[in-house]
C-alpha cells in the first residue's frame, strides 16, 4: 500500500500532490492496529521519508510546513488507532478472564453422587457473568452436599467474590456434611475477608444421605428449593439472613424425604426474575413453565427447563439463570 501511494505520487501532476500524501495514513493505521505503537511509528517514519523523497523528485511549495502537517496527522493516527487497539485487547483479556471465572463457578461436568442423578443448567446474564454458583461435594462419610448461591451484585466484582465464597464452601463441605455448620463457617470467612455488611451472599446448602433418600438443608436468605416432581416449594422453618450481614447467622432449615424417584430443584432468583413482556415470571410462572419436565431424568430436566425459560423470557437476561437438579435413583 505504501509503494502504491508512492508510485501514484510520481505518476500524476503536481497539482494533486498535496492530498495524495495523506493516504499514507491508511497503511500507518493498519500496521498500528496489527502490531502496535512501535510498528506504527516505524511505518510513519518510513512514509514521511518517502514523502521527502517524492518532494525531491517533484518539488512542492513550503516543504517543511507540509512535512510537519503530515507528521502531526500521521502521529494522531498512530495514537488514536493504538489507543483503540489497547482497549480492544484489554476487553478481550477481560472476557477470557470472566469465562475462566464462569467455568469455575458453574462447571458443566458434575461429580457422580451416590444415590443421586445430578445435573445443572446455567445461562449468563447480559452482564456476561454475575455471582451465581453451584457445587457438589462429598464429605468423608460418602454422602453428598449440594450448594447453590448468589452474590448480591453484578459484573466482575460479584463474580470474583463468588469465586472466593464458592472455594470456602467447597473446602468446608469436603470436611463436614452439616449444612448449618458449612454456611456458618462460610459466613465467618466472608466477614473476615470483607467485614460485616460489606459483601452479601445468599445460599442454600443441602445434604443427601448415601442412599439419596433423605435431604436436610439450611437456607441463608436464598429461595427455598422445589420438590420434584410436584414442583412445590419446600417449606423452611426458622428465620434466615444473608451470609455476610453479621457474625451471628440466622438460618432456615429444611428436611425432606425424597422417596422413590423424588428430588429437588435448587435455583437462583434469576429464574423467578425472568421477564415476560416486562413482567416478572415469579414462582408461580416458574413452576408452570417447568411442570412438563418434572418427571424427566436430571440431565433432560435441566436442558429442557433451560430451553423453555429462554424461549419464553425476554432477552437479554437481566440476571444469571442457574438451576441445579438432584433426583433420587
Q: Where in the chain is the domain with CATH 3.60.40.10?
A: 106-328
pTM of the model: 0.70
- The model's confidence at residue 103, banded by pLDDT at 50, 70 and 90, is low
pLDDT at 221: 94
Give the Cα separation of 136 and 112 in Å (integer). Answer: 9
pLDDT at 317: 82
Structurally, at CATH architecture level, domain 106-328 sits in 4-Layer Sandwich (3.60)
Contacts of 249 (CB under 8 A, 6+ apart): 183, 184, 187, 220, 241, 243
Cβ proximity of 227 and 165 under 8 Å: no
pLDDT at 127: 63
Any idea which residue has 421477564 for its cell?
275
Overall average pLDDT of the 260-283 stretch: 88
Overall average pLDDT of the 184-195 stretch: 92
Nearest alpha carbon to residue 110 among 86, 133, 139, 137 = 137
Per-residue pLDDT reduced to its tens digit, 194-243: 888 889 999 999 999 998 899 999 999 999 999 999 999 999 999 999 99
Beta-bridge partners for 324: 120, 266
- The model's confidence at residue 313, banded by pLDDT at 50, 70 and 90, is confident
Write the DSSP symbol of residue 242: -
What's the CA dihedral at 27, 33, 34, 39 to 10 degrees? 70
Give the Cα separation of 48 and 42 in Å (integer). Answer: 10
Amino acid at each position: 500500500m505504501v509503494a502504491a501511494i508512492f508510485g501514484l505520487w510520481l505518476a500524476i501532476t503536481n497539482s494533486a500532490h498535496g492530498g495524495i500524501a495523506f493516504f499514507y495514513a491508511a497503511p500507518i493505521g493498519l500496521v498500528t492496529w496489527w502490531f502496535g505503537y512501535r510498528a506504527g511509528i516505524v511505518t510513519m517514519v518510513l512514509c514521511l521519508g518517502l514523502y521527502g523523497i517524492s518532494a525531491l523528485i517533484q518539488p512542492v511549495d513550503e516543504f517543511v510546513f507540509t512535512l510537519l502537517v503530515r507528521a502531526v496527522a500521521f502521529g494522531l493516527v498512530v495514537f488514536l488507532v493504538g489507543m483503540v487497539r489497547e482497549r480492544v485487547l484489554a476487553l478481550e483479556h477481560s472476557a477470557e478472564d470472566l469465562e475462566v471465572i464462569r467455568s469455575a463457578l458453574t462447571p458443566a461436568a458434575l461429580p457422580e453422587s451416590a444415590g443421586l442423578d445430578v445435573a445443572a443448567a446455567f445461562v449468563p446474564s447480559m452482564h456476561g457473568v454475575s455471582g451465581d454458583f453451584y457445587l457438589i461435594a462429598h464429605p468423608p462419610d460418602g454422602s453428598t452436599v449440594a450448594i447453590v448461591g448468589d452474590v448480591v451484585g453484578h459484573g466482575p466484582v460479584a463474580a470474583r467474590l463468588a469465586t472466593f465464597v464458592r472455594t470456602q464452601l467447597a473446602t468446608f463441605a469436603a470436611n463436614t456434611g452439616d449444612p448449618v455448620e458449612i454456611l456458618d463457617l462460610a459466613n465467618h470467612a466472608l466477614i473476615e475477608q470483607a467485614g460485616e455488611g460489606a459483601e452479601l451472599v445468599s445460599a442454600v446448602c443441602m445434604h443427601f444421605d448415601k442412599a439419596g433418600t433423605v435431604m436436610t438443608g439450611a437456607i441463608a436468605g436464598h429461595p427455598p428449593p422445589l420438590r420434584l416432581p410436584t414442583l412445590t416449594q419446600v417449606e423452611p422453618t426458622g428465620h434466615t439472613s444473608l451470609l455476610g450481614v453479621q457474625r451471628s447467622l440466622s438460618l432456615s432449615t429444611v428436611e425432606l424425604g425424597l422417596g422413590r424417584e423424588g428430588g429437588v430443584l435448587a435455583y437462583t432468583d434469576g429464574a423467578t426474575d425472568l421477564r415476560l413482556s416486562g413482567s416478572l415470571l415469579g414462582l408461580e410462572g416458574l413452576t408452570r413453565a417447568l411442570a412438563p419436565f418434572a418427571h424427566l431424568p436430571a440431565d433432560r430436566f435441566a436442558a429442557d427447563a433451560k430451553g423453555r425459560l429462554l424461549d419464553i423470557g425476554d432477552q437479554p437476561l437481566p440476571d444469571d439463570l442457574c438451576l441445579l437438579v438432584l433426583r433420587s435413583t
